[in-house]
Structure formats: structure tokens, C-alpha cells
């Protein structure tokens, strides 16, 4: 259960459509559920604005499915990252509403449609090889209620491709810029807009790229003051932060990380 759901329950009580006792029963319940191999945090939606997100990497399909079933039952929302097809099939057996975005390796489900989204988050990728990480960011931001647009394959080797989209970039409330190789694109975008730019280094590149380390260091050393940086290939983190910026919420009371 997230804050929006609690507000709906409180509004129903205010209108007299729901008895206080029934509201208490709906809101109350264990804040954590121990599955033996994982402890599911049911209070995260209230604290952080979105239910616990599942990192599938390092877990068995059965473990991911059990966590997903637990999260879905209490929240009606599901977001699972770094999932392969075998994980998806296991999750779908427990949550038939789940669907799979293969390029981003993301599993999603929502009991209530989120609608067209609010505000505007722009996701920019330097190259086509960066798109899987960019798509993880896009899907995450959209799941959190943002209206998301994309601008892919506009790296600095052909700067005219980016300059042709400057008006769209400046219309966004927050931007996510995904790049590997030397990681120069976020600095360029940061110099064109007066909005927050969340930079995502990717592991795309040749040997001296050191699996994204070169891009990470380049972004951390950006001279554009509006650029902040998440970890290598962390499209999820970028999407979450950009969505919070986009809707103007105050900082959450606790961390909004994935289930480890």
C-alpha cells in the first residue's frame, strides 16, 4: 500500500463511505513479512512513495516469484528489474497480470492503470547500445507516474542529432542521460538546459572503458552544475530519482532501494 491508496481510504472515511474500523483494518497489518529467504518491506510504499522493487539478479526464479506474489498481494503494484525470461515465467504463474519488457529486463504489473502520467521526464541515450539501460529508466519513471519521452542515439559524435531536440529537452522537468564510452553526453545536455540531469554511465565501450568506469569518472567530473550521477548501468535508480524530481515530492523518509 502506498500513500495514494491511504489517502483514498481516508477520503472514503471523510465521506462516510467507509467505517473507521474498516479503514484501520485496511491500513493496518504487518509492516514486514518474513519469507525465510527474504523479508518483504510492506511499509516502503508509505515511506518512499512506491512499494518495494525486486532486484531479480542473484535470486532464483522461485525466490523472485514468491517475493513478487507477496508484494503484489499487498500493494497491487509490481516492478522487478534485471529479470530474464525464466524469472518472468515463474512470476507470471503467481501474478498473471505481469508482463515482461525483454530489452530492459523488467517485469511490471499494476492493478490500477496509471494513466498518461504527469509532468515530463526526458530519457536521452548516447547510442543504441545504451538503450537497454535507458529503457529500464523509462519504465521505472513511468511506473512512478511520470510522463516520459525519449531521445535515443544522439551521442556527441554527431552533435546535430542532439541540437535538433533542444526545445524538447528544455521542456522536461528532469532529464536522464545514459551514455557509455567516454560518458560526455550528460555534460553537453547539462549545458543546454536549466533542469536536473541524472547521468547514467553504462558498461558499453572498449577495453579502456573498464566496464563503465571511464564513463562514471567522466560524469562525476562534469563541469555542468546541474548533473548528478548514479551507478554504472543503474537505470532503475535514475528513473526513480527523476520521477521524484518530476512530481516535486519532498525527500522520502527512508531509502527506496531494491530488495537485495
Q: Output the CA torsion sign for 126, 127, 128, 130.
A: negative
Nearest alpha carbon to residue 201 among 224, 180, 226: 180
What is the length of the chain? Answer: 260
Which tens digit of pLDDT belongs to each residue from 194-251? 999 999 999 998 988 999 999 999 999 999 999 999 999 999 999 999 999 998 754 4
Domain with CATH 3.40.50.1970 in the chain: 118-247
Give the mean pLDDT of 39-45: 76
The torsion of the CA quartet 118, 121, 127, 133, rounded to 10 degrees, works out to -80
Rounded Cα–Cα distance for residues 64 and 105 (Å): 14
Strongest mean pLDDT among 115-119, 160-164, 245-249: 160-164
Retrieve residue 231's grid coordinates. Answer: 551507478
Q: Is 66 exposed, middle or buried (0-12, 13-18, 19+ CB in 10 A)?
A: buried
Q: Is the pTM of this model over 0.95?
A: no
The pLDDT value recorded for residue 181 is: 92
Q: How many CB atoms within 10 Å of residue 94? A: 18
Which tens digit of pLDDT belongs to each residue from 166-203? 999 999 999 999 999 999 999 999 999 999 999 999 99
**Class in CATH terms, 118-247:** alpha beta
Amino acid at each position: 500500500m502506498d500513500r495514494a491508496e491511504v489517502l483514498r481510504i481516508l477520503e472514503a472515511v471523510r465521506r462516510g463511505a467507509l467505517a473507521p474500523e474498516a479503514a484501520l483494518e485496511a491500513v493496518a497489518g504487518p509492516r514486514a513479512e518474513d519469507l525465510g529467504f527474504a523479508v518483504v518491506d510492506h511499509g516502503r510504499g508509505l515511506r518512499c512513495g512506491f512499494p518495494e522493487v525486486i532486484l531479480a539478479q542473484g535470486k532464483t526464479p522461485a525466490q523472485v516469484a514468491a517475493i513478487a506474489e507477496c508484494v503484489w498481494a499487498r500493494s497491487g503494484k509490481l516492478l522487478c528489474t534485471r529479470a530474464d525470461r525464466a524469472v518472468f515465467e515463474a512470476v507470471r504463474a503467481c501474478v498473471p497480470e505481469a508482463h515482461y519488457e525483454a530489452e530492459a529486463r523488467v517485469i511490471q504489473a499494476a492493478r490500477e492503470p496509471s494513466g498518461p502520467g504527469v509532468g515530463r521526464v526526458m530519457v536521452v541515450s548516447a547510442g543504441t547500445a545504451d538503450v537497454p539501460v535507458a529503457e529500464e529508466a523509462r519504465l521505472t519513471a513511468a511506473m512512478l507516474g511520470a510522463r516520459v519521452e525519449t531521445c535515443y542515439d544522439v551521442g556527441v559524435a554527431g552533435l546535430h542529432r542532439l541540437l535538433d531536440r533542444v526545445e524538447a529537452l528544455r521542456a522536461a522537468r528532469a532529464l536522464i542521460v545514459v551514455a557509455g564510452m567516454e560518458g560526455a553526453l550528460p555534460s553537453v545536455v547539462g549545458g543546454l538546459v536549466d533542469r536536473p540531469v541524472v547521468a547514467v554511465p553504462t558498461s558499453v565501450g572498449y577495453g579502456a572503458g573498464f566496464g563503465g568506469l571511464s564513463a562514471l569518472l567522466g560524469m562525476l567530473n562534469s563541469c555542468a552544475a546541474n548533473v548528478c550521477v548514479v551507478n554504472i548501468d543503474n537505470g532503475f535508480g535514475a528513473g526513480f530519482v527523476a520521477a521524484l524530481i518530476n512530481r516535486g515530492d519532498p525527500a522520502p523518509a527512508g531509502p527506496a532501494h531494491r530488495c537485495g
